[in-house]
Structure 1
């Protein structure tokens, strides 16, 4: 038999662990912090850019080409594609104010607008070879002068007019609706397609044959 003193100590030890709330709790674990200079530490300090106020968009002809391609209903290349950015009106008067008349305009924002033809086309009886071009504009109250240029990957209006290839005058009209964001879209045309461009209450249409 155990001595009385040892029995008393053992009983106290058992009762201590039997009473709720009296059990010994392990010390809280420390949160591991990134080691200075490690990838984790650098990632915590990354400054993420804000969303672009003039998001990039892409349009095709045929208009539903991406759906046809993804669904496997066509193996052909599109006829044309445009990559551009879409600035917004935001309560401003656009033409004659934000976009100056008689001055170069990139037909959008940020990087210069690009148009790519995947086959030879014709615009106002001028044959345009397939390939990628910059497309920019000189707007006037009654017309837009649209210009193809082969100086690719240009930011903004740093366009070298010495590399202009063709220019086309198309009528400018006033729309009944107001386009909040600058919009470009392809539509079927009489002899092929037409590129429609609209912003605020102004619109211009460029017919393209193929």
Structure 2
């Protein structure tokens, strides 16, 4: 009888642990701004960009939710990150192999794009200008009649060149990239 009691107790504990695990998984809700990854490759160089996609949801975006003239994480949640397995030219300047954070400073007619060496940042709250690897301005394009509901980053690749496209609401920014021959 004692062994039956131990066996029954074991089964109850095992069942309880299983049930707790199932309920814990059900309690997890998806992020309102889901993670997204875009990639491209040329020869031996691979580029991966990881970011989170906030949605417009009827809000005024640039100059409103994302104020002009302030450093922005370029998405939601964690700061956007780019990983390179080979050197590239970005806006004509060399960006070395590695992983970097991407920040921007949106303005109405141009954005400042910032490549920063500090990783794992939540938002731009602890942005450190001293860790900037490069910084340059790119013009904005206002797209009449087009509304990107989710914040979107993509690559438009043409062989050894590409544009890193950042799009949200009626604003688009194109950052020229060129792969370097090894």
TM-score range, shorter chain: 0.7 to 0.9
Q: CA deviation at 1:36?
A: 9.9
Confirm or deny: 8 A CA contact 2:38 2:50 kept in the other structure.
yes
Q: Does 2:169 match 1:207?
A: no
Query: Cα gap change, 1:203/1:38 in structure 2, threshold over 3 Å: closer, same or farther?
Result: same
Runs of 4+ in structure 1 off by over 4 angstroms are 33-38
- Which of 89, 96, 100 matches 2:67? 100
Cross-structure match for 1:56 = 35
Cross-structure match for 1:28 = none
Cross-structure match for 2:8 = none
> What per-residue deviation string (whole Å, max 9, x for no partner) do you get for residues 135-186 of structure 1?
1100000001000001011111122222111001100010131000000000
More strand by share: 2
Q: Does 2:104 match 1:151?
A: no
Uncovered stretches (5+) of structure 1, i.e. residues with no partner = 1-32, 66-75
Query: Cα gap change, 1:60/1:45 in structure 2, threshold over 3 Å: closer, same or farther?
Result: closer
Aligned counterparts of 2:80 and 2:91: Cα–Cα separation in 1: 21
Query: Cα gap change, 1:191/1:89 in structure 2, threshold over 3 Å: closer, same or farther?
Result: same
Matches within 5 A, 1:191-206: 192-206=161-175
Match of 1:79, SS state, is: strand
Cross-structure match for 2:152 = 183
Q: Please provide the CA RMSD for this pair.
A: 2.3
Higher relative contact order (CA 8 A, sep 6+): 2
Aligned counterparts of 1:205 and 1:169: Cα–Cα separation in 2: 11
- Which of 83, 105, 114 matches 2:81? 114
Query: Cα gap change, 1:41/1:81 in structure 2, threshold over 3 Å: closer, same or farther?
Result: closer
TM-score (norm 1): 0.72
Q: How many residues are treated as equivalent by the alignment?
A: 166
Aligned counterparts of 1:37 and 1:103: Cα–Cα separation in 2: 53
Match of 1:156, SS state, is: coil
TM-score (norm 2): 0.82
Uncovered stretches (5+) of structure 2, i.e. residues with no partner = 1-10
Confirm or deny: 8 A CA contact 1:34 1:40 kept in the other structure.
no
> What per-residue deviation string (whole Å, max 9, x for no partner) do you get for residues 5-35 of structure 1?
xxxxxxxxxxxxxxxxxxxxxxxxxxxx944
Query: Cα gap change, 1:35/1:125 in structure 2, threshold over 3 Å: closer, same or farther?
Result: closer
